[in-house]
């Protein structure tokens, strides 16, 4: 945001990988409004970059525009950036100020996917769950698969479109044959990642039948049947062989590869077994849990309880840094954050 005399004269944000960074977008907006940014103050959530990537350094644009003062809400933790941009601006005669308190905390939370990827090379993982009042996460065969209500499901589609990738386990896929697309107006489609150690994904599944809508990556174990792996590739899926002796190790290997592809956020849906593997790998950063006002009792399939019940890990507890509760339609949404990056 660019401000002069208390008036906003330009705004911008980094809309998509490879497009203008926020600073350059704000300067473009400023000029589109026929405003001169020279002598104005620029407010940024992240320190301006000083390196050449898909876009040129933002500090160059700030200096060329004659911005007099830059207020920075949070540092850039990436090795190639940290501290360089502010130093160049200061040497160029730009006054600098650093936000603190609630504003700085909000900026860090806004950039959590970027910050985790910058520090670890891995995407930020958000676990989504929907459960009944008695803790069941699956309905009985033949019943409606939906536990949460329509308002909650609409919200999930929005979250999908905000994520770089969405993940599910093969058990969920075999049971529900989902599309896993973001069905919302002008939705950005995430990469669909299916953890399928034995390469059991049917070639006539909706996932493979919708490759024109969204990319599909199938994560298999090194000992997966070569014929089935070949059939998946022939059907158009990309297959990633993730090494590791345990599901947790394969989760970490897969996340490492996603990070190499600059995917900074993963929305984890569907599959208690997969959620357990992420938990065992220590790769759940935050969670969003819908509790629906219904009781499913013992009519659900055996073992369809909550995350942490699986014999592979035993009960587990995550310590939340903060949590909140809100109403979404008839459901209750519990949001928790376990790490800050």
Catalytically active residues, by annotation: 23
The Cα 82–Cα 50 span in angstroms is: 9
**R_g over Cα of the chain:** 23
Buried b / exposed e over 163-196, threshold 16 CB at 10 Å, is bbbbbbbbbbbebeebebbbebeeeebbbbbbbb
The Cα 186–Cα 165 span in angstroms is: 17
- Dihedral sign for Cα 133, 138, 140, 145, please: positive
The Cα 238–Cα 85 span in angstroms is: 38
Residue 96, helix vs strand vs coil: strand
The Cα 316–Cα 167 span in angstroms is: 21
Phi and psi at 287, nearest 5°, equal -140, 155
Phi and psi at 211, nearest 5°, equal -65, -20
Q: Are 127 and 286 in contact (CB under 8 A)?
A: yes
Q: Residue 201 has which token pair? A: 């994904």
The Cα 58–Cα 265 span in angstroms is: 24
Rounded to the nearest angstrom, the gap between the alpha carbon of residue 324 and the centroid of all alpha carbons in its chain is 19
CA distances to 28, 245, 267, 337 from 274, in Å: 44, 15, 12, 19
Q: Are 196 and 220 in contact (CB under 8 A)?
A: yes
Pairing verdict, β 69-72 and 331-337: unpaired
CA distances to 60, 117, 184, 276, 300 from 266, in Å: 33, 11, 18, 16, 28
């Amino acid at each position: 945001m660019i401000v002069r005399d208390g008036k906003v004269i330009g705004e911008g944000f980094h809309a998509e990988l490879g497009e203008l960074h926020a600073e350059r977008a704000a300067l473009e907006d400023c000029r589109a409004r026929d405003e001169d940014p020279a002598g104005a103050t620029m407010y940024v959530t992240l320190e301006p970059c000083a390196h050449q990537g898909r876009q040129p350094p933002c500090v160059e644009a700030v200096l060329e525009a004659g911005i007099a003062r830059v207020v920075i809400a949070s540092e850039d933790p990436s090795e190639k950036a940290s501290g360089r941009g502010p130093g160049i601006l200061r040497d160029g005669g730009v006054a600098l100020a650093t936000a603190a308190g609630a504003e700085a905390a909000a900026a860090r939370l806004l950039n959590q996917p970027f910050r985790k990827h910058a520090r670890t090379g891995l995407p930020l993982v958000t676990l989504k769950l929907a459960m009944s009042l008695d803790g069941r996460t699956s309905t009985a065969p033949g019943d409606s698969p939906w536990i949460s209500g329509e308002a909650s499901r609409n919200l999930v589609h929005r979250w999908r479109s905000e994520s770089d990738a969405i993940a599910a386990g093969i058990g969920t896929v075999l049971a529900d044959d989902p599309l896993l697309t973001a069905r919302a107006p002008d939705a950005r489609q995430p990469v669909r990642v299916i953890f399928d150690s034995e390469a059991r994904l049917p070639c006539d599944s909706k996932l493979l039948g919708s490759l024109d809508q969204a990319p599909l990556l199938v994560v298999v174990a090194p000992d997966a049947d070569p014929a089935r792996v070949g059939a998946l590739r022939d059907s158009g899926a990309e297959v990633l062989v993730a090494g590791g002796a345990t599901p947790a190790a394969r989760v970490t290997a897969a996340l490492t590869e996603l990070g190499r592809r600059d995917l900074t956020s993963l929305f984890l849906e569907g599959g208690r077994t997969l959620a357990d593997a992420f938990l065992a790998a220590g790769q759940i950063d935050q969670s969003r849990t819908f509790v629906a006002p219904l009781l499913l009792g013992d009519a659900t399939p055996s073992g369809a309880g909550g995350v942490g019940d699986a014999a592979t890990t035993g009960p587990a507890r995550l310590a939340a840094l903060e949590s909140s509760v809100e109403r979404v339609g008839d459901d209750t949404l519990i949001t928790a954050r376990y790490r800050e990056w």
